[in-house]
Chains A and B, each alone.
Chain A
Amino acid sequence: MKKISHLAVPYVVWTILLLALPMVLIVFYSVVGEGNTILDVSFTIDNYKKFFTDKDFLIVLWRSVKIALETTVICILVGYPIAYFISRSEEKYRNLFILLVTIPMWINMLVRTYAWIGILSENGVANKILSFIGLGDVQLIHTQGAVILGMVYNFIPFMILQINSSLSKMDNSLLEASQDLGADGKTTFMKIVLPLSLPGVVSGIALVFLPSVSSFFIPKMLGGGQFFLIGNVIENQFITVGEWSFGSAISVIMAALMMLSMYVVRAIEKKNKVDRGDD
């Protein structure tokens, strides 16, 4: 049986070279002084200091987290009923519904985002509809609303699919039992359905929050050049400003933040599992 475990050897090498080493390099670049050369290295924590002492960067970070949180909340509130509907529908339709939710994900994310530019722009369809119902000309494109809309549009399928998969796993006899024991629809939902679907919600949160926080092309395309989120700051550092060490430091901060929040999310998930075990 030893030989079969050797199958993993190429990948062990691969993970070290192409997954672990890049992360080491980011950390490395974030603590070396100016310049891109590996020779004459001097270590410094100035880049981190610069980030945490400049209130403007902290504002951007906070704004990115806030927008990602708003996106996530909207995805849960809208995605849950949709997932519930799918999981409760007849089996022959269920796969079709899931397919309908999945198809947009197959279409390039930039293309999907680009489509909204035409819809939201000043004399686009959205504004035409709004003026038709008497709400007049509203600035839609290049606003925070447009950015959140773009994020919800791109990431909500993840939420729906995750919640749906945990709802579908639910044993129907539980619901019947609950009703037999006299619980009304609301109680059954609150006491049985919701707790059992929480793992799906939790992994949905991870799949929505993570890409929202770091996205840089959605804010750029729908928010305009003046809409700056943390992803844009990083892109800017690497692509135009050229201060790689600072860009690396922001990347490390962001990665750490994400790891931390994922850790919290997973801990909650685990705790839930234990709680259910106790029941």
Chain B
Amino acid sequence: MKKDKRIFGKFIFSSAMIFFYLPILYVVIFSFNSSKSLTSFSGFSLEWYKRISESSEMMVALYTTIAVAVIATIVSTFIGTISAIGLFKSNKLIKRLIGQINDLPIMNPEIVTAIGLMLLFITFKVERGLLTMLLAHISFCIPYVILSVMPKIKSLDENLAEAAMDLGATPWQALYKVIVPQIKPGIIAGALIAFTMSVDDFVISYFVSGRGVKNLSMVVYTMSKRINPSINAISTLIIVAITIVLIVINVAPVIRRKIDSSNAKEKHFLAKKSKAPTIMVVAGALLLFIFSFNFFFASGGKYEGKTLHVYNWGEYTDPETIAEFERETGAKVVLDNFDSNEQMYIKLANGESYDVIFPSDYMIERLIQEDMIQKLDKSKLDFLDDIYPGVRNLDYDPNNEYSVPYFWGTVGILYDTEKVSEEEVAEQGFDIFRNPKYKGETYLYDSERDSFMMALKALGYSMNTQSEEELNEAYNWLLDAVETTEPEIVTDEIIDNMAQGRKALAIMYSGDAAFAMSENESMAFHLPNSGTNLWSDAMVIPKNAKEVELAHEFIRFNSSYETTIKNSNFVGYTASNEEAFDFLRTDKEYFGEIDAYTPRVGYEKDEIFHYDEEMRKIMANLWSKVKILATSK
């Protein structure tokens, strides 16, 4: 009977271990995959490790994570410990009150704590960045330190400190020599919790950080939308590092104890103390790492020591070009990513300062209206004539006084020719997303603007409609689409998934479609006759930019023939530099055979988005409702 139980226990424990470690093993294995795939292993390679060592974004994030964790741990352990001691001696009322507030970060959902801190920093105009991240980490770590130190203090003999002082010790000496040594296990446990919490944190950092300061979690979060085995590689490094630390902490004392016990049994009690020095050595090594870091990134050049803060769409530049720009100028580029114009706008409106941003047409219109971006210095932009005339001088910025086009394109339907016929797509246009035949076979893009564009165009309305009635009709069109075809509503995952032929139909930006088509020959792109969105993303300099001259330099660099070819080829989006555009769209090695790369120009039903705050809000709200309905499917 008893044996049976152990067998059951062993079985469930081993299954749990498989469950726990399978994904971790998976990450480690695929970090050595030679191809990009996350599902099939095609050969051993160290490619992704090479990539992360070359990616300054990843290295900086790694550094930020460790630096923040070490400093937050040290500070919160110190404050937490002395406060716990102080609180214990305080009167009941204060003790209770502070105890309650102290519980807030523990009892509250993380996202609420995060939003509270974000509102605090924004309300009092503290610029979000490394400092705010550090403050936030310290403040959610202290409560855990107090919680783990408090029980030890409670079990302390109160008379000890008093006895020490009676014998002539100052209160500090009493604290340091009598109290602290006795509560050490609590302090160490608290420090470990603080360190773990800080390294692991995503939600709070995500909300309180700014200006491109990212920890590893945030980098993983922004990168996880596209298949990116670099994540596996950096994760493997973390796993290895943690395993080593844990082995050092857990195994070293055991070995020492064994040696000690074989030497002399009386020494046994000493072995227990060995954890503290080990931890101190680890912490010391980490601190050294933090301070030595800046040496890595020193380089020469005209702009040496300057930092350019760039706010761009995710995966919108070839990292190689950034490295090249850094080499040429000697400046450091800090890249921050956004998923939508609205997300970018909110950050900008809250006073976060960037030097170059890459908004879309209608958003540029808004930024000009609200006086948030500055006129460019025309004397530095002698290359404007190299830009393809079709994207110059558009409505949102008639003389390109504020903006220089970067990428441009359309929105259309990407379809798998093996599952959908060309005639069918051509005949039904966007309405194919309401065709029950393709239930479970469609992707929609998670953007209120593009979704409403599709619906409005399908209904024959202007996508810049100001009629709420038409918007409501479009809303019902979208609800119907969600109900009949049960689409997956995704963002950038759409690109890799369509490249792998996961579904038959997707609504897609022409550039993403070009990328997917270059990876998968059976994909084709269609622009509906009902018209679509002709968009462009351009580089602008915000009013509060700090490195205006360097920003102009960056815009010029990105508009050059060579850089344009690299970026356009890397991302798949259509180049603005005319020479580069002509080369890429005709050369068979590049996009010569991919029609999605060359946008449709001059079609009367195609439109450019205009900015209208009221309509935007209605659309945003209706779109969340569409998504809520889609979830319950």
Contact = CB atoms under 8 A, between A and B. Distances in A.
What 9 A-B pairs have minimum CB-CB distances, sorted nearest first? A22-B116, A8-B86, A7-B86, A214-B109, A85-B9, A11-B83, A118-B38, A115-B23, A225-B446
Interface residues of A, number: 103
Given A1-B89, A114-B224, A235-B111, 8 more contacts: A63-B632, A108-B202, A110-B224, A111-B27, A122-B502, A225-B489, A226-B488, A241-B617
Given A11-B86, A111-B231, A153 B19 contact: yes
A19 B102 contact: yes
B624 A110 contact: no
A26 interface: yes
A115 B224 contact: no
A166 B9 CA distance: 18
Nearest to A105: B196
A254 B116 CA distance: 13
B220 A7 contact: no
A228 B242 contact: no
A233 B116 contact: no
A89 B12 CA distance: 13
A56 B487 CA distance: 19
5 contacts: A11-B98, A85-B12, A114-B235, A248-B115, A254-B109
Contacts of A89: 9
B110 interface: yes
A176 to B, nearest CB: 14
A36 B490 contact: no
A217 interface: yes
A138 B489 CA distance: 19
Contact of A5 (B13, B86, B487): B86
B111 A234 contact: yes
A29 B112 CA distance: 13
A224 B220 contact: no
Interface in A50-107: 56-57, 59-60, 63, 78, 81-82, 84-86, 88-89, 95, 97, 99-101, 103-107
Interface of B: 1, 5, 8-10, 12-13, 16-17, 19-24, 26-27, 30, 38-40, 79-80, 82-83, 85-87, 89-91, 94, 98, 101-102, 104-105, 107-113, 115-120, 122-123, 135-136, 139, 142-143, 161-162, 171, 174-175, 196, 199-200, 202-203, 207, 216-217, 220-221, 224, 231, 235, 238-239, 242-243, 246, 250, 339-340, 342-343, 345-346, 349-350, 440, 444, 446, 482, 487-491, 493, 500, 502, 617, 620-621, 624-625, 627-633
A54 B339 CA distance: 27
A258 interface: yes
A16 B100 CA distance: 12
Given A123-B40, A239-B343, A251-B115, A7 B82 contact: yes
Contacts of A4: 85-86, 89, 161, 171, 174-175
B83 A1 contact: no
Contacts of B487: 226
Nearest to B27: A115
A22 B113 contact: yes
A107 B242 contact: yes
A165 interface: no
B112 A254 contact: yes
A241 B90 CA distance: 46
A18 interface: yes
Contacts of A225: 446, 488-491, 627
Nearest to B28: A115
A182 B612 CA distance: 79
Most buried by B among A118, A123, A234, A262: A118
A25 B118 CA distance: 10
A241 B115 contact: no
A14 B139 contact: yes
Given A4-B175, A142-B488, A262-B107, A18 B139 contact: yes
B220 A108 contact: yes
B196 A8 contact: no
A241 B89 contact: no
Nearest to A97: B13
B632 A59 contact: yes
Given A7-B82, A108-B217, A123-B40, A251 B120 contact: no
Most buried by B among A63, A105, A109, A242: A242
A45 interface: no
B38 A124 contact: yes
A89 to B, nearest CB: 8
Contacts of A123: 39-40, 500
Contacts of B19: 153
Contact of B119 (A1, A25, A153, A224): A25
A227 interface: yes
Contacts of B139: 14, 18-19
Contacts of A236: 624
A210 interface: yes
A238 B630 CA distance: 21
A60 B624 CA distance: 11
A274 interface: no
Contacts of B115: 22, 26, 234, 238, 247-248, 251
A221 interface: yes
Contact of B39 (A60, A85, A124): A124
Contact of A107 (B24, B86, B162, B224): B24
